[in-house]
Structure 1
Amino acid sequence: MASKAANPTPGRVAGIPDVMTAVLLTGHGGFDKLEYREDVPVPKPGPDEVLIRVAAAGVNNTDINTRIGWYSKSVKSGTDEGATQSQDADATWTGAPMSFPRVQGADCCGRIVSVGQNVDRGRIGERVINANTLRFYVNYRPMESWVFGSECDGAFAQYMKAPSCEAHKVDCDWTDVELASVSCSYSTAENLLHRAALKPGEHVVITGASGGVGSAAIQLAKRRQAYVTAVAAPKKADELRKLGADRVIGRGESLTGQLGAESVDVVVDVAAGPAFAELLDVLKKGGRYAVGGAIAGPIVELDVRSLYLKDLTFFGCTFQDDVVFRNLVSYLEKGEIRPFVGKTFPLREIVAAQQEFLSKTTSGKLVLVIPH
């Protein structure tokens, strides 16, 4: 049983334990590197940080990518091919070595229970979600950021600390589980559309459309009054149409054959892999290609003539301008988007959750419920 702090200190509510339940990543590799523990010290917020009592945490590709070392440039395969042999020296978002043990989890929904000395105590009790890319820790240098669960500890734990400026209060009727599906997937999708400057009436193709980022991108693109073609397994077509997709094309079908060459304004891609060349074929002259993932494989064949003769613009999308997450929170509070949660698991069953994620059998977001 976790021991309780006897007396609250200023900026801290009573009853916060000294140790907590968490899942520790102990090294790069397979599921055996995930260790469920009940004796992990509760983090202490710094002067500009808050401590969040985590209610739920989403499961994302990045959790698996980080665990298996997929971000290393030595890895050439997609993310669904199991644990890989990587060079540990460059297997994080920033290309720096990973520090172990690490608490993963890029998505958090919870309530602030303690604040640092520079943070308004009035924040205690707020329900918050976290920004996906953390600029505070890199002194707001352009195009640089940290990510929870990679460069710092994340949400696969009962408590998590975060910069106060990047823990966003949300007032809406979504449940904690539903809000835990937002931070990584929806902000990644919003960033892709923001960077590509998708306009009303434009035609966008979204790959990996039944996953967290893809399903979020459908809703966010329809919010922008675009025409959406989603690429996903045919059995998931009805669900994607309910989210707003105007057309669904089966994964593996010819996009050029279905849509025609030079018929699309924007491509939002999280897959890459063998279909990459066709994505460029269907783009109009002057079209925009935005990429935020490579689940089907990071190594692609590019005919540079397609790039320059069609005057295409490519956007690699990881870093997020501050406005991206602020806009996302406003969409939530105005009811302009809705949750798409597929299944929940208790934190103890994190391996089963990641196995389900890799199976791609469940549409929507998988979320871990954190015990207290």
Structure 2
Amino acid sequence: MSHIHIPKTMAGVVLTGHGGLDKLEYRENLEVPQPLAGEVLIHVGASAINNTDINTRTGWYSKGVTTGTDQGAAAGFETANDEDGGWSGTPLSFPRIQGADVCGNIIAVGEGVDPARMGERVLVRPMQQAPGDPSSYNLITFGSEINGGYAEYAVARSSEVFAINSTLSDAELASFPCAYSTAEGMLDRVCLGA
């Protein structure tokens, strides 16, 4: 851990369940997460909103939803099932801090993480390999299956956090991660002839 003063509580927006905009709550008494072994604590400079965040909130990933995302963007989907409403198809625990797209600075490191990472300006990979099974194709989404960046601080595995050197603002950089992975996936399909 660092010697930087880190508060015990923070402000953030939590998702209290699948549904409409009323399921998002601003709170000022959230516990600041502590980095465990292999993790870093990020002071969030900016977090963008994207369709993954909206679809998770509305429960659109549930097998019970058969309409387009535009049908429930504000109110959610009545046919969504809490048992499979997360991106990975598994139940989410609530409250959940959303925010898949994050840019910020590392201010503390957990055991086993190089202390030289302190101070790095970073982006977090939004689509992450499920912990504990390096051969698995099961993915989790930052801000869906694990807490994300809609708060002042966020923790992430050090292996999923990448140093960035750019003159772009934190807000500009926070717009990249999810959009990048979508674009990369499309380029891979084109290049592989899929």
For Structure 1 versus Structure 2, the TM-score category normalised by the shorter chain is over 0.9
Q: Does the aligned pair in 1 maintain the 2:105–2:119 contact within 8 Å? A: yes
1:151 corresponds in structure 2 to 145
1:161 equivalent to 2:155? Answer yes
Q: Deviations over 1:112-140 (max 9, x none)?
A: 00000100111000000011211262422
> What is the identity, as a one-letter code, of the residue corresponding to 2:108?
S
2:100 corresponds in structure 1 to 106
1:18 equivalent to 2:12? Answer no
Of Structure 1 and Structure 2, the greater helix share is in 1
Secondary structure, counterpart of 1:197 in structure 2: helix
Q: Does the aligned pair in 1 maintain the 2:12–2:26 contact within 8 Å? A: yes
Secondary structure, counterpart of 1:64 in structure 2: helix
1:172 equivalent to 2:138? Answer no
> What is the identity, as a one-letter code, of the residue corresponding to 1:41?
E
Question: How far off is 1:144 after superposition?
Answer: 1.5
Among 67, 70, 78, the alignment partner of 2:68 is 78
Question: How far off is 1:187 after superposition?
Answer: 1.8
Q: Distance in 2 between matches of 1:78 and 1:136?
A: 27
1:209 corresponds in structure 2 to none
1:32 corresponds in structure 2 to 22
Question: How far off is 1:15 after superposition?
Answer: 1.8
What is the aligned-residue RMSD (CA, Å)? 1.3
Q: Distance in 1 between matches of 2:82 and 2:120?
A: 38
| Runs (5+) with no aligned partner, structure 1 | 1-10, 199-287, 289-312, 314-372
2:43 corresponds in structure 1 to 53
Alignment CA distance shift 1:175-1:16 (3 Å): same
Q: Deviations over 1:265-321 (max 9, x none)?
A: xxxxxxxxxxxxxxxxxxxxxxx5xxxxxxxxxxxxxxxxxxxxxxxx4xxxxxxxx
Q: Distance in 1 between matches of 2:30 and 2:24?
A: 14
Q: Distance in 2 between matches of 1:153 and 1:91?
A: 16
1:140 equivalent to 2:134? Answer yes
Q: Distance in 2 between matches of 1:169 and 1:58?
A: 18
> What is the identity, as a one-letter code, of the residue corresponding to 2:71?
E
TM-score relative to the length of structure 1: 0.50
1:244 corresponds in structure 2 to none
Q: Deviations over 1:349-372 (max 9, x none)?
A: xxxxxxxxxxxxxxxxxxxxxxxx
Residue-pair matches, total: 190
1:91 corresponds in structure 2 to 85
Q: Does the aligned pair in 2 maintain the 1:13–1:113 contact within 8 Å? A: no
